[in-house]
Structure 1
Amino acid sequence: MGNPGLAGAGGVIRDDQGSWVVGFVAQIGEATAGLAELWALFHGLNLAWSHGCLNLQVETDSQLVIQWIKNRVDPLHPHASLLSSIRRCLTRDWLVNITHTYREGNRVADWLSKHSLVYPYGMHELIDPPSDLGRFLHDDEMGVTFERRVVASTSL
């Protein structure tokens, strides 16, 4: 809610059929969008590990976070400590592939992150999906696609 502003994170772990395994929401307080994405990645990786998920395809809508993970950042970077923690997670004995997807490509995680603000501060594991999430889960499992409109201007 603003950048920076009150921020939350959310994510979902699905099986190879796209069905819900476990999800999470995290109310993280005042943060930038990039920091919220990093917290989502950190919590999601730890949750996957704790549930024994050892072959992950991680999708984020933040290309900036992917760049931060792939490229070393200055130790004085404001998110250096969290990035270091994420990199340590990635060195565990598992397969993790992190890719970019548009927000429309993972509406469940987007919904969870937006609704994380109704939860108390901190990370909350969701064994069952919230009932309001049903239509997004169904659409995702059925492979429903959504248009993404991009306004492009050209100078002649």
Structure 2
Amino acid sequence: MKCNIDGAAKGNTGLAGCGGVFRNHEANLLYYFAEPLGFFTSFQAELSAAISAIEVAFRFNWHNLWIETDSTLVVRAFQNHSYVVTWNLRNKWTNALFLFKQLNGIVSHIFREGNQVADSLANYGCTLTSSSSCHQAPGFIRYGSEKNKLGFPSFRIYS
């Protein structure tokens, strides 16, 4: 099970949200989530996405989990479990690490061009008043999800 995650903050600290999309080995979308977070930093939003992904995977008994994030800080937090996390996320982070140890999981970095569906979900989370999740792709991520499934590249254009 692969989960691409992202967090977004409209300002740093600002109104924040997070999101993630779970896909199987054939790149079929199995589940997505988008959550409003209130006022967080961008790192707190990114870390919240990772925590939520672990909680969802554990709830559905998806014991082989690959988390992909465009946040190198989140990857570092998983590499160094003594990484200092802000007080408002410390308990959730500790619990998520406990759950993650029970999963056959890895965390890796992906460039933001390859993480556009999760980015859309995180930005959507910023607009919500309560969490949203489903086993079917909402319309605004269908195109990006299908593009990913077909292996179409995403480019970063420099000018």
- Whether TM-score is above 0.5 comes out as yes
Work out which of the residue numbers 69, 76, 88 in structure 2 matches 1:67: 76
One-letter code of the match for 1:124? S
Give the corresponding residue for 1:96: 105
Q: Alpha carbons of 1:74 and 1:112: their partners in 2 closer, same or farther (altered >3 Å)?
A: closer
Flag structure 2 segments of 5+ consecutive residues without an equivalent.
1-9
Do the aligned partners of 1:38 and 1:82 also contact (CA within 8 Å) in 2? no
Q: Does 1:15 align with 2:17?
A: no
Q: Deviations over 1:4-34 (max 9, x none)?
A: 1100000011010001001100100100111
Q: CA deviation at 1:150?
A: 6.4
Structure (1 or 2) with the greater strand fraction? 2
Moved more, 62-71 or 95-104: 62-71
TM-score by length of 2: 0.85
Work out which of the residue numbers 112, 132, 143 in structure 1 matches 2:151: 143
Q: CA deviation at 1:148?
A: 2.3
Give the alignment's Cα RMSD to 1 decimal.
1.8
User: What percent identity do the matched residue pairs reach?
Assistant: 26
Flag structure 1 segments of 5+ consecutive residues without an equivalent.
152-156
TM-score by length of 1: 0.86
Equivalent-residue separation in structure 1 for 2:104 and 2:158 (angstroms):
33
Q: Alpha carbons of 1:74 and 1:139: their partners in 2 closer, same or farther (altered >3 Å)?
A: closer
Equivalent-residue separation in structure 1 for 2:27 and 2:47 (angstroms):
23
Q: Across the two proteins, how many residue pairs are aligned to each other?
A: 148
Equivalent-residue separation in structure 1 for 2:84 and 2:125 (angstroms):
30
